[in-house]
């Protein structure tokens, strides 16, 4: 095995060219392409190996065509998958090439932890979090939510006089605290909250909904306070700043003040899952974004906050972040006992990452974040996030005006302008014709001009569209998507004309009422 610089650069150039050629093509590979790619896998582990040249050709000719353009295409609207800005992509190449293991602060040996601290501080500036907040990088909001709930568990035990449960164990800590269990009070939430409850010994049974039945993302404060009064139960509240199905916000400036007061009154921990809603705080301070900025206001009153970099910030997978204003709680939960080969500078203001998070070993996720923030600054990221919102609002406006589609959730008590000001970057919709609606997602994705995901709303199929790519262009996306949606309806009506005529004929020949 040897490194041939010239050959490697040639392969790298060919790969870059092949990737660029994909960005304007279909969003997803065809089934034939997928079958072909799978057919090129070696049947077993090669004995001698196929060599770099053959493997490079295999990657370019077989593997690349079989991967989705989820990051390349501005019209991949599944999940909430961001792209990768040029600065972040360049930095990520450096991350792989030098392969730093960011676990211990070693200021005499590497800049890795200094870069991480600088990236965290720049992020806090972008989203207007005060300097007192401590942050770290994670693999994504799922782990960040786990950290938030773990810190909450430690906090509510300590508020009831218990010793560190990490030292004495959860069972004895609960006895000392005089509690029978925990409850996790939530609005409509991400599945990772359920996973956190399972992993942390609380169980799914501990999760209780405190949202309104018809608006599950909004907090029913009367119900919340009633639950907080439960005897011998320690409470953790988790709310969504940007609900994952509809994009609606479960928080706002006034709501956060009420939540903080209740948490202080009942010694509860307040966690905010702001995986993508966090970046509403980075929108320009202009009238069109007044509602969204208010919806994301007051997060500084929480105890912990989750965020994702691989969504709206447009850095590569995997990248999340976790913020808390309780460094002592973070230390109690995550600090690694002293180990000889983990020696670090104890008096440093920069903590070793292994003492403030779950992982001991991880890559330098912070570098792409640092690079994209340095390259494009506040104004560049304001513009990027604003464009994503504009795309979503443009399509939402089309759906509101359409006789064939419905924007969800239905808001009959609001005018169009009020509805649109609440649209962030995620929209949910369905076709009014139930037969078309059952087939809508399949027909949309069959055109391969965009990729949208599906879900259920009010027991009916719905189509979900999450705009989160830096390449988004409002005019282009409007033309492509509205034309596609109009064509789907037009084609459906032509092919199912009898279904549309039948109600009319029935009304013509119906027996008149006397």
pLDDT tens figures, 310-351: 999 999 999 999 999 999 999 999 998 876 666 665 557 888
pLDDT above 90 (res 354): no
pLDDT above 60 (res 2): yes
pLDDT above 50 (res 510): no
Q: DSSP per residue over 227-289, as a string?
A: HHT-TTEEEEEEEESS-TTT---S--HHHHHHHHHHHHHHT-EEEEE-TTGGGGGGS-SSGGG
Average model confidence (pLDDT) across the chain:
91
Q: Name which of 218-222, 246-250, 295-299, 438-442 the model is least confident about.
A: 246-250
Mean pLDDT of 254-280: 96
**How far apart, in Å, do the first and last CA atoms of the chain sit?**
92
List pLDDT tens digits, range 355-396. 889 988 889 999 999 999 999 999 999 999 999 999 999 999
List pLDDT tens digits, range 179-217. 999 999 999 888 899 999 999 999 999 999 999 988 888
Q: What is the pLDDT of residue 124?
A: 96
Q: What is the pLDDT of residue 504?
A: 46
Read off φ and ψ for residue 207, nearest 5 degrees: -85, 125
CA–CA distance, 124 with 306 (Å, rounded to integer): 12
Q: What is the pLDDT of residue 346?
A: 58
pLDDT above 80 (res 178): yes
CA triple 150-154-155, angle to 5 deg: 115
DSSP structure class, residue 219: B
pLDDT above 80 (res 15): yes
Q: Name which of 74-88, 333-347, 405-419 the model is least confident about.
A: 333-347
pLDDT above 60 (res 512): no
Q: What is the pLDDT of residue 445?
A: 93
Q: What is the pLDDT of residue 345?
A: 56
Which position has the higher pLDDT, 80 or 500? Answer: 80
User: Is the preceding omega at residue 9 within 30 degrees of 0, hence cis?
Assistant: no
pLDDT above 70 (res 443): yes
Q: DSSP per residue over 96-162, as a string?
A: HHH---TTS--TTT-SHHHHHHHHHHHHHHHTT--TT-EEEEESSHHHHHHHHHHHHHHHHHHHTTP
Residue 183: which of 149, 216, 211 has the closest Cα? 149
CB atoms within 10 A of CB 132: 9
Mean pLDDT of 288-302: 95
Q: What is the pLDDT of residue 297?
A: 95
């Amino acid at each position: 095995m040897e490194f041939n610089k010239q050959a490697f650069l040639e392969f790298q150039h060919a790969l870059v060219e092949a990737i660029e050629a994909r960005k304007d093509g279909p969003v997803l590979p065809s089934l034939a392409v997928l079958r072909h790619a799978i057919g090129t896998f070696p049947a077993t582990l090669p004995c001698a190996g196929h060599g770099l040249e053959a493997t490079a050709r295999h990657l370019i000719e077989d593997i690349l065509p079989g991967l989705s353009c989820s990051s390349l295409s501005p019209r991949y609207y599944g999940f909430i998958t961001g792209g990768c800005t040029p600065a972040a992509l360049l930095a990520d190449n450096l991350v792989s090439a030098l392969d730093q293991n960011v676990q211990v602060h070693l200021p005499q040996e590497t800049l890795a932890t200094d870069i991480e601290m600088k990236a965290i501080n720049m992020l806090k500036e972008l989203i207007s979090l005060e300097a007192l907040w401590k942050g770290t990088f994670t693999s994504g909001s799922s782990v960040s939510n786990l950290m938030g709930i773990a810190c909450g568990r430690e906090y509510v035990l300590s508020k009831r006089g218990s010793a560190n449960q990490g030292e004495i164990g959860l069972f004895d800590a609960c006895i000392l605290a005089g509690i029978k269990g925990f409850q996790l009070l939530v609005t409509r939430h991400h599945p990772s909250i359920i996973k956190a409850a399972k992993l942390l010994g609380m169980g799914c049974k501990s999760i209780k909904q405190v949202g309104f039945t018809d608006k599950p993302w909004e907090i029913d404060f009367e119900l919340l306070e009633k639950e907080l009064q439960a005897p011998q139960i320690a409470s953790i509240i988790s709310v969504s700043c940007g609900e994952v199905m509809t994009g609606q916000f479960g928080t706002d400036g006034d709501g956060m003040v009420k939540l903080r007061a209740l948490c202080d009154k009942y010694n509860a921990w307040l966690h905010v899952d702001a995986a993508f809603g966090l970046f509403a705080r980075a929108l320009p301070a202009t009238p069109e974004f007044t509602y969204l900025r208010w919806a994301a206001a007051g997060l500084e009153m929480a105890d912990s906050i989750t965020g994702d970099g691989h969504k709206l910030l447009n850095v590569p997978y995997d990248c999340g972040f976790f913020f808390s204003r309780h460094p002592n709680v973070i230390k109690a939960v995550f600090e690694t006992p002293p180990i000889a080969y983990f020696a670090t500078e104890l008096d440093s203001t920069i903590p070793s990452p292994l003492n403030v998070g779950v992982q001991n070993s991880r890559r330098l996720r912070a570098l792409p974040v640092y690079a994209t923030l340095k390259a494009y600054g506040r104004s560049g990221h304001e513009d990027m996030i604003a464009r994503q919102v504009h795309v979503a609002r443009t399509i939402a406006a089309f759906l509101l005006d359409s006789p064939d589609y419905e924007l969800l959730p239905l808001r009959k008590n609001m005018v169009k302008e009020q509805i649109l000001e609440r649209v962030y970057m995620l929209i949910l919709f369905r076709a009014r014709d139930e037969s078309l609606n059952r087939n809508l997602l399949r027909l949309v994705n069959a055109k391969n001009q965009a990729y949208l995901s599906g879900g259920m709303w009010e027991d009916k199929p719905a189509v979900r569209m999450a705009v989160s790519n830096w390449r988004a262009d409002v005019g282009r996306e409007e033309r492509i998507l509205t034309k596609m949606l109009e064509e789907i309806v037009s084609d459906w009506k032509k092919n199912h004309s009898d279904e549309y005529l039948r109600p009319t004929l029935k009304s013509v020949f119906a027996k008149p009422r006397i």
